Structure 1
Amino acid sequence: MSVCPPWSAERAMSIVAEHARQRGALLPILHALQETFGCIDDAAIPLLAGALNLSRADVHGVVSFYHDFRRTRPGRHVVKMCRAEACQAMGADALLDHARRSLTVDAHGTTADGAFSLEPVFCLGNCALSPAVMIDGVLHGRVGPERFDALTADLRAQDQAEDAR
């Protein structure tokens, strides 16, 4: 579980400075901002436009085009569920429905307690072990409803243990 710091224009500008001389700097900067802050804050759009001599529309267009860029902070745990053909053939649709009910959250949403963000994605590259789920960057294959519930229950228990400290 990682907690991202709040938005800081000063920190964002240092990230821009680290990457600004790269060819095609916008994407590396956006990735670095999201890695640092958990999302692309609204304040980043004009900041990047000014720093890279782009229009705000250009920056917004890139952020909105790529589904991996988040405009809101994610939950403490990010659950990515594969929606590609191999996983669909092995029950990914039913698993996503189960996950939505189990976590009480819609796809692309975050639970009310901020514990989980649920993100359907096109492919996790684990077709031979479908349906595949990635939780906090860890890939899991052959995930059914029971295994999904066990994985999320373990994370909730870890969160509670950390909170108790």
Structure 2
Amino acid sequence: MTRADILQRLIAARPARQDSLLPILHAIQDELGWVPPEATPAIARALNLSRAEVHGVVCFYHHFRTAPPGRHVLQLCCAEACQARGSAALAAHARAVLGIDFDETSADGAVSLAPVYCLGNCACGPSLRVGDTVLGRVDAARLDALLLTLREDLQ
């Protein structure tokens, strides 16, 4: 099945109403891992929206990716509670070790680094999520061990 076929199936699965925009975008990202550029005109046509309206929603919400992610997406909490517990230093360490900034993917394609603004694990910050797993009280050493495990998973 081509990507165009997948997009068409996901768009057609929802009512052709403007309030279907977010559910369609979530379905696309859930299946493909990102929202490819060709999704914008297809969604706009189906929901009778302008391309600018669809693009604006994709760009507004940090959750939506407009480029393919790495094999693993490491979401680092940058909200106030985690900041108070050292997430800024942890973010700096992650960026240095991976050689990337937020919303980028490591050169080996193993890890994408994404900021999030609350994982609901405030008492155990700094927190991060990889896949469906939330980890708390993460320091540089624990992050290094996690990254080693994620990269070994690729081999």
- TM-score per shorter chain, which class? over 0.9
Distance 2:102 2:150 in 1: 19
Distance 1:158 1:59 in 2: 36
SS of alignment partner, residue 74 of structure 2: strand
Distance 1:22 1:31 in 2: 15
Partner of 1:129: 124
Partner of 1:163: none
Q: Displacement, 1:94?
A: 0.4
Distance 2:16 2:46 in 1: 11
Equivalent pair of 2:74/2:129 in contact (CA under 8 Å): yes
Equivalent pair of 2:16/2:47 in contact (CA under 8 Å): no
Map 1:7-156 to 2 at 5 A.
8-21=3-16, 24-156=19-151
Q: Displacement, 1:61?
A: 0.9
Query: C-alpha root-mean-square deviation of aligned residues, in Å?
Result: 1.5
Distance 1:112 1:157 in 2: 15
Q: Gaps spanning 5+ residues in structure 2: where?
A: none
Moved over 2 A (4+): 20-23
**What whole-Å deviation, never above 9, does each CA across 1:52-78 have from its counterpart, x for those lacking one?**
111111111111111111100000000
Q: Which amino acid aligns with 1:52?
A: L
SS of alignment partner, residue 48 of structure 1: helix
Q: Displacement, 1:121?
A: 1.1
Q: Displacement, 1:11?
A: 1.3
Q: Displacement, 1:99?
A: 0.4
Q: Which amino acid aligns with 2:75?
A: K
> May I ask how many residue pairs the two structures share in their alignment?
155
Normalised TM-score (structure 1): 0.89
- What fraction of aligned residue pairs are identical, expressed as a percent? 50
Normalised TM-score (structure 2): 0.95
Q: Which amino acid aligns with 1:49?
A: A
